[in-house]
Amino acid sequence: MTIPELTDVHPAWLPPEAFRAIGSRRALVLGDGALTGTVHDEVAAACARYGGSAERAGDGPFDLVLALTTAGPLPQVAAAIAAEAGPIGEEGYVLARRDGVTAVLASDPAGLLYGLFHLVRLGEPAFGAARPVERHEPAMRRRMLDHWDNIDVHPVMGQVERGYAGGSIFWRDGVLREDLTRVRAYGRLLAACGINAVAINNVNVHATEAHLLTDRLGEVAAIAAELRPYGIRVHVSVNFASPMALGGLPTADPLDEDVRRWWAATTARVYETIPDFGGYVVKADSEGQPGPFAYGRSHADGANLLAGALAPHGGVVHWRAFVYNHRQDWRDRSTDRARAAYDHFAPLDGSFRDNAILQVKYGPMDFQPREPVSPVIAAMPETRLAVEFQVTQEYTGQQKHVCYLAPLWRELLDFRPWGRDGRDVADVATELVAVSNVGDDAYWTGHPLAQANLYAFGRLAWDPRLAPDTVLDEWIDLTFAPAAEPLRRTLHTIMDGSWRTYERYTAPLGVGFMVRPGHHYGPDVDGYEYTPWGTYHFADRDGVGVDRTRATGTGYTGQYPRPWSDVYESLEQCPDELLLFFHHVPYGHVLRGGATVIQHIYDTHFAGADEVAEMRTHWDKLEGLADPALHTRVQELLDEQLRCAQEWRDQVNAYFFRKSGVPDAHGRRIP
């Protein structure tokens, strides 16, 4: 296989330079299987560039051995390391260096591939001093990206729903792209950060895309062929009403025998074409998508129908828990969108088949920069759970703003629903899924620095205990290899705290939204206030926030186990950053941090916009240290981020000043 090299696309975290250390070695790659072949081809390509050699057999001497433990006979050093390491788990690998030989060993070829990319991350230090045996195994068995790509260009959403990096890398002008080299290069980038599954189309499955399941299956197979050499399985979003739309049946009732037979036969055909097909993703009874409610059936009935069709082939269904009433009456204060997923799904715990995975957004609302962790995560001990993140920055600056999301994700993964001594979200989830931020843009992600979010998602799905700044360091070292120190320092200065900066200049204290309706970019404090979408802040002249308490509000706090049900219920204990998510308070309410709510709003909005101005100054100083085109692109985007942050600052401050009449304690200008 030729290693994909693209001249018109930024190499992201795999520039040729990242392979220098490996490419100058005498390497042996041992073992069978297609992925072992990929490992060999990667090493051989690096060696062709940097003067090393890559063998598949021979006596050596070798200074790098990448081998399956089942391959024989292993060189002596590798055999000794294998004996010391003992059994190695699925997709895992061990790494050690002794007697001048660096060895990566795995029991399956996928592990070898991940081990190779670990060597790439280490670079020259992998070939320096002796290293004891290190074991690496993924925390999550599936580490998946969902693409919200359409085949056709949607009149409102464009081609990629909530995509900020151009068109789809899969389709163009309504047909599969002729040259899929970029898809293969994408697979390579994903494998290098640990991703092993991709759902290729939007969860809102429109008429054209529904056909990927049947007469356009060849396109799925072609994409799968590009991703397979990098260990990535392809999944497809399906429309629950497919038996009617594609099969001509009068119903899509999950308990109907003909419907069952249709899904079984259709799924069997999928597997005849793509034997390693991953499975289906379903958004049902949500934002206009069809689902089991139409037939008076439950979501377990719906999910189990598809799980049943997939089970004989080893596939899985990802069934999304994002189910709520998007036609709510804003006058009705008793309906609370935040409650919806728990109310629908918690009673169904234990009734899903083994190969049905409930995919839950990290928060109860919708990918806001600050939300409490979804209570569904603690409520379904008998159900396999995937937690869903949003790498695409729908609500976090749309890849025009720098917003490094790993610190947010780490907070979510570290959250302990049962309190200090209980398990955390990373322990409870069996999988992590995220909406991809990639398109046909020359930097993959629109904003060049948004690449770091994609990289960090993969790394955290592999190891949720990694520190965000360590992951950022990895990304910097690979992407800007070799990274000059001022560049590294400045990127940290700009990116480490960028999510908190974004939070400061947008909706305050966890209340969320306040974005322009529809496209969700930029401020509009009342944009959603009198709409059916269920995303309100209830600001009036006296106060702001949503009362979700049991005592006087919607009762949402009761969906959490102790201690959080009590902590969130209590005005005194509720964390400041979530105060307005849980409570409606007067503007003069004093936060745990000491400021009043209104003064906090003013202070954070002034501070957030100032921080963006500082980012801009820091970035300017890098001229000459980063690639000129990349430097200019980031500079232009920082101009836009600054403009937008100032707009947020002024709108939010002016809005609350006008509502409350309370002046800023520091006398700053509020328009």
Residues noted as catalytic: 287, 366, 394
- Region near ligand GCV per CB under 6 A, out of 30-38, 199-207, 267-275, 663-671: 199-207
Closest to ligand GCV by CB, 33 vs 158, is 158
Please report, for residues 181, 238, 321, 379, 394, the alpha-carbon distance to residue 550 in angstroms, rounded to integers and kept in the order given. Answer: 55, 38, 23, 18, 31
Closest to ligand GCV by CB, 322 vs 480, is 322
What torsion, rounded to 10 degrees, do the Cα atoms 487, 490, 496, 501 define? -140
Closest to ligand GCV by CB, 283 vs 401, is 283
Which DSSP letter does residue 315 get?
-
Amino acid at 320: R
Closest to ligand GCV by CB, 162 vs 400, is 162
366 binds ligand GCV (CB under 6 A): yes
- Region near ligand GCV per CB under 6 A, out of 123-131, 200-208, 273-281, 416-424: 200-208
Q: Is 85 helix (H, G, I), strand (E, B) or coil?
A: helix
- Region near ligand GCV per CB under 6 A, out of 198-206, 504-512, 588-596, 660-668: 198-206
The single residue among 10, 283, 459, 584 that binds ligand GCV, judged by CB under 6 A, is 283
Query: 280: number of CA atoms within 13 Å, CB side?
Result: 34
Closest to ligand GCV by CB, 370 vs 500, is 370
Residues 93-132 that bind ligand GCV (CB under 6 A): none
203 binds ligand GCV (CB under 6 A): yes
Amino acid at 97: R
From the CB of 270, what's the least distance to ligand GCV, in Å? Answer: 23
344 binds ligand GCV (CB under 6 A): no
146 binds ligand GCV (CB under 6 A): no
The single residue among 322, 480, 556, 619 that binds ligand GCV, judged by CB under 6 A, is 322
From the CB of 533, what's the least distance to ligand GCV, in Å? Answer: 9
Q: Tokens for 52, please give them.
A: 């090393």
Please report, for residues 197, 199, 542, the alpha-carbon distance to residue 597 in angstroms, rounded to integers and kept in the order given. Answer: 44, 42, 11
- Region near ligand GCV per CB under 6 A, out of 202-210, 213-221, 245-253, 298-306: 202-210
Total residues at interface with ligand GCV (CB under 6 A): 10
Please report, for residues 262, 313, 353, 365, the alpha-carbon distance to residue 269 in angstroms, rounded to integers and kept in the order given. Answer: 11, 11, 22, 37
The full length of the chain comes to 671
Phi/psi at 173 (5° precision): 50, 40
299 binds ligand GCV (CB under 6 A): no
602 binds ligand GCV (CB under 6 A): no
Cα–Cα dist 35/187, whole Å: 13
Q: Is 385 helix (H, G, I), strand (E, B) or coil?
A: strand
Phi/psi at 235 (5° precision): -120, 160
Cα–Cα dist 169/171, whole Å: 6
204 binds ligand GCV (CB under 6 A): yes
From the CB of 146, what's the least distance to ligand GCV, in Å? Answer: 9
Cα–Cα dist 100/57, whole Å: 19
Closest to ligand GCV by CB, 203 vs 483, is 203
Binding-site ranges for ligand GCV (CB under 6 A): 148, 161-162, 202-204, 283, 322, 366, 394
